[in-house]
Chains A and B, each alone.
Chain A
């Protein structure tokens, strides 16, 4: 099925989904901050999205729900080198060093403290250190591409890493993913759990990528793109990128400090 599928086919589907969203909002529907699970231009989603509507849980009816608390993480879950992906091997990885930093916040703008932030990414040639990865680009013996850290008292996180390369994938003919870093974060409630991807500014591949375009709201999609921050650049060492992350979640959890 995917053999004959061209970028032009995907472009048409992306444009149609975008237009349909624009019409929904113009007709009074709410802004959609997250992608729909049934986003056909991303072909892997076709058989993996529920067709039944999700069942809503009114959290205000039961503040004891286990989903309104979150797993605990602490210093035992990280080590000193976990947030510097350039120092996890004996030698220096190849590529452009970058510093990525920002804050983890809830929908009220409050910092989410002491929670785990995990990242993973391809190396500078666009290849993952994953055995089933088939992209014919060099592996870097000095780069695995895995990091984790805890947010501090102000919700800040910080990583030193290598800017990942773009890479091809098999969604359609000539499909290329823009450079991105995968993020996995927890909030103060399990319902705030978020797995997402951070992109680098001004990437020419943005318009062609059905995964990024699955976020059909323009402003929401922009929130996935980091900003270059000269103050975060480290002299003689790395370029800095700033990326804040805001966790979604039921309104009822936001008023419960310390859950």
Chain B
């Protein structure tokens, strides 16, 4: 059953998702996971916020992954988001120059997270965004959402996804501008102000 016969198409069915659980903290996060932008890059933005549950309490054991295009809208192809040291077997860190586009961040004890990355450029028909994937204890299948930037109202107005949402739901996908390249993006897993989550059928 768990050896997949690729000659029989009906047997190629997906492996079910399962929760990340509470104890990934020593395994999945890596030092500098939230610092995606090459050092000193002028297009660097900081996005930060809190993750809340249905009771409005912060979620201290959520894990977020960020994936985005570079400022020209190109998808990064560089590897080395979590470089390893072949000599010691330990963690080496990003090389500070190449943009890999991928980050992994755990919320802190207050449910707070941040990422420093490059402001994404537009691709295709939509307004530019960062793709965000949310994992947590209690969440049996991860959730996708998007972080849009508030700067260009006309691009946001014509975005194929944003333009078909009610205004209050739409606003959950647009970060707040706090100045100096810093944006606020809270994630509400349930209840009032619940974040819009996406599926890709």
**For the complex, is B157 an interface residue (Cβ under 8 Å from A)?**
no
Known contacts A33-B13, A182-B20, A76 near B80 by CB under 8 Å: yes
**For the complex, is A117 an interface residue (Cβ under 8 Å from B)?**
no
- Name the distance in Å between A225's Cβ and chain B's nearest Cβ: 6
Say what secondary structure dominates the interface of chain A: loop
Contact of A223 among B15, B101, B140 (CB under 8 A): B15
- Name the distance in Å between B193's Cβ and chain A's nearest Cβ: 11
Contact of B190 among A51, A62, A227, A243 (CB under 8 A): A51
A-B contact pairs, 18 of them (CB 8 A): A42-B138, A45-B19, A47-B190, A55-B199, A62-B125, A64-B124, A66-B68, A71-B76, A71-B100, A78-B84, A102-B2, A109-B7, A129-B26, A130-B26, A182-B20, A220-B14, A244-B15, A246-B4
Residues in B lying within 8 Å of A, measured CB to CB: 1-4, 6-7, 9, 12-28, 53-55, 57, 59, 65, 67-69, 75-86, 89, 100-102, 120, 123-126, 129, 131, 133, 135-144, 160-161, 165, 169, 189-191, 194-201
31-80 of chain A: CB within 8 A of chain B? 33-37, 39, 42-52, 54-57, 59, 61-67, 69-80
| Residues of B with C-beta under 8 A to A110 | 6
| Residues of A with C-beta under 8 A to B125 | 61-62, 64
On whether the beta carbons of B53 and A47 are closer than 8 Å, the reply is yes
A-B contact count (CB 8 A): 270
On whether the beta carbons of A50 and B68 are closer than 8 Å, the reply is no
Interface stretch, picked from A12-20, A21-29, A189-197, is A189-197
Known contacts A42-B138, A71-B81, A52 near B16 by CB under 8 Å: no
Whose C-beta in chain A lies nearest to the C-beta of B137?
A: A44
| Residues of A with C-beta under 8 A to B55 | 47
7 residue pairs, one from A and one from B, having the closest CB atoms? A64-B124, A44-B138, A120-B27, A74-B79, A109-B6, A71-B102, A248-B14
| Residues of B with C-beta under 8 A to A242 | 2-3
**For the complex, is A144 an interface residue (Cβ under 8 Å from B)?**
yes
- Name the distance in Å between A79's Cβ and chain B's nearest Cβ: 4
CA–CA, A250 and B200, complex, Å = 6
Residues in A lying within 8 Å of B, measured CB to CB: 33-37, 39, 42-52, 54-57, 59, 61-67, 69-82, 88, 102-103, 105, 107-110, 118-120, 122, 128-130, 132-133, 144-146, 182, 184, 190-191, 193-197, 211, 214-215, 219-227, 242-250
- Name the distance in Å between A107's Cβ and chain B's nearest Cβ: 6
| Residues of A with C-beta under 8 A to B197 | 50, 52, 54-55
4 additional A-B residue pairs with CB within 8 Å, beyond A67-B67, A146-B26: A79-B86, A109-B12, A215-B18, A220-B13
On whether the beta carbons of B123 and A74 are closer than 8 Å, the reply is no
On whether the beta carbons of B2 and A105 are closer than 8 Å, the reply is no
On whether the beta carbons of B13 and A69 are closer than 8 Å, the reply is no
| Residues of B with C-beta under 8 A to A105 | 4, 6, 12
Known contacts A48-B189, A50-B194, A182 near B21 by CB under 8 Å: yes
On whether the beta carbons of B142 and A193 are closer than 8 Å, the reply is yes
Chain B CB within 10 Å — which of A43, A48, A194, A242 has the most? A48
On whether the beta carbons of A146 and B53 are closer than 8 Å, the reply is no
CA–CA, A226 and B89, complex, Å = 29
